[in-house]
Amino acid sequence: MITRLLLLGATGDMAGRHLLPALAESAAAGTLPAGLQVVGAAPQDWDDAAFRAHVSARLAAHAADVPAGVRAALVAGLRYRQVDLADPATVAAAVAAFDEGPVAAYLALPPTAFPAALTALGEAGLPDGSRIAVEKPFGADLAGAAELDALLTKVTGGVEEAAYRVDHFLGMPGVQALLALHAPGSPLVPGWGSDSIASVEVLWEESLGLAGRSGFYDRNGAIRDVLQNHLLQSLTLLVMEQPATDSEADLHAAKLAALRAVRVTDPAATRRARYAAGTLASGDPVPDYADDPEVDPARGTETFVELQLAVDTPRWAGTRFLVRTGKALARDHKGVALHFRGSAPQVDPALAERVADDQLWVTLDGAVQADGDVDVHAPGERTAYRQVLADVLSGGSRTSVSSAETEQAWRVVDPVLRAWSAGAVPLAEYPAGSGGPS
C-alpha cells in the first residue's frame, strides 16, 4: 500500500471537483490508508496555509455533505510545493517532500502538460514501487497515444503495474453493473446477443454547459473527452465475454478482446455539432460556444458526437450499436438502452429498468446506497474517484486502462477523426438546451 500521494495540478479543476472531495469522502468512510501523506503541487507561489485555504473552499463547494470535522482534519494535514514542470528540479523537490518510500504521482493536469510532467518525474527518479496515474484523454489520436505511452513506459521502467491510465467511469457503480448484466445466473444470459438484442445505445447526454472547462474542452472536444475513453469502455463491459477468472489480468484480457472487435460502420456517417446560444435546463442563458473567450472557433471543436458501431463477434453480429454524448442538451440522460427483438426479460430493478415491453434502461450515473442498490438520483463520479484513488494507492487496476486497450480505443476513433479532418462530416449546430442537432 502506497501512503504518499503527490497531486500534480492540485489547484486545478480536476483536483478541486473530484480528487480532493473523493479524499474527503474516503476519510469520512475510514478507507484511507493509515498515515497517508498528501502533497499538492502546482505553479502558484503559495505556502501550505494558502493551499489549505483553497482546498477548504473547494471542499465546501463540492463536498459539503462530508462532516466539517473530517474535512478540517484532512485539510490540516495537506502540504504544498510550487512546481514548474519545465524545471524538473522543482518536481524533484516536491517528491522529496515525503519521507522514504514509494510515491503515487497523480497527473491531474491538462493533457498538453503530460509529457513535461512525465519527463520531470523521470528525472526526479521516483522510489521503487511508485506509480504514476495519468488522467484522460491519453493522447489525441493513435499516434499521439503511442508517443505518450512510450514516454510513460520509459519513466516507469517498463513496469505495466506502475503505469495507471485513469478511466474513472470504470469505478462508477452503474458502469460496474454492466458486467453483472450478463454474468452467470442473470436472466439476460440465455438471450445475450444479436438473436435477442436488436440494438444498443450508450448515452452520456448532459444538460450542463462547459462550467468553466471551456479552455480544456476546446482542445479535446466530445469525442476525446468522453467517447473515446468512457463510452467505449462502457460498451466493452457490455459486449465482452465473461473473464475466465475474477483476476484483474483476465478482466483486462477479456476487455481487450472485445475492443479489438469494435469498429465504426461508416466514419463519414457520424454526427458532430456544437451548441449555439440558448437557455440551459437550469434556466441559465448561454452564448454560442464559439463566442466563449477561451474557445478558438477555427478549431471546429464539437460539443456533440454520435457514432454507429459494429462488434464483429459471433455473439453480436447483426446488432446495431450507437454511442452518443453531448453538452448543453435538454436533459441529463446517461445510461444504456437495450432494444430487444421481442419482449425484454424481467431483471432485478437494481440492475435495469424496464421502460418499454421491448426495452431495458441501465442508468450509468448513480451512487450505491447503504442497502447495495444504485441510487439513480445521486452522482456517481465522486464514488468513482474514491475507487480510482483506492486502486492507485493499493496497486489495483480495475479503474485503469491497459496500454493495449488504449491503442484499440484509438484505432476505433481514428478513422472518424480523419474523416472529420477531411471535411467529410460537416459541423452542425444546435441551440443550447435543445435535444441536439436535427
Active-site residue list: 230
Outline where DSSP puts E strands in 220-342: 262-264, 271-276, 278-279, 285-286, 304-311, 320-326, 333-340
d(CA 428, CA 222): 14
d(CA 345, CA 351): 12
Q: How far is CA 431 from the centre of its chain?
A: 26
DSSP run (H or E) holding 49: helix 48-62
Integer CA distances (angstroms), 425 to 64, 292, 300, 375, in order: 44, 23, 11, 38
Copy the grid coordinates of residue 376.
439513480
The β-bridge relationship of strands 374-375 and 367-368 is antiparallel
The β-bridge relationship of strands 131-134 and 163-165 is parallel
Burial class (CB in 10 A: 0-12, 13-18, 19+), 243: middle
Integer CA distances (angstroms), 387 to 138, 173, 210, 399, 424, in order: 19, 10, 25, 7, 40
Burial class (CB in 10 A: 0-12, 13-18, 19+), 426: exposed
**One-character DSSP codes across 335-350:** EEEEEESSPPPP--TT
The β-bridge relationship of strands 304-311 and 271-276 is antiparallel
DSSP run (H or E) holding 143: helix 142-155
| DSSP assigned state of 188 | T
401 CB neighbour count, 10 Å cutoff = 27
Copy the grid coordinates of residue 425.
462530416
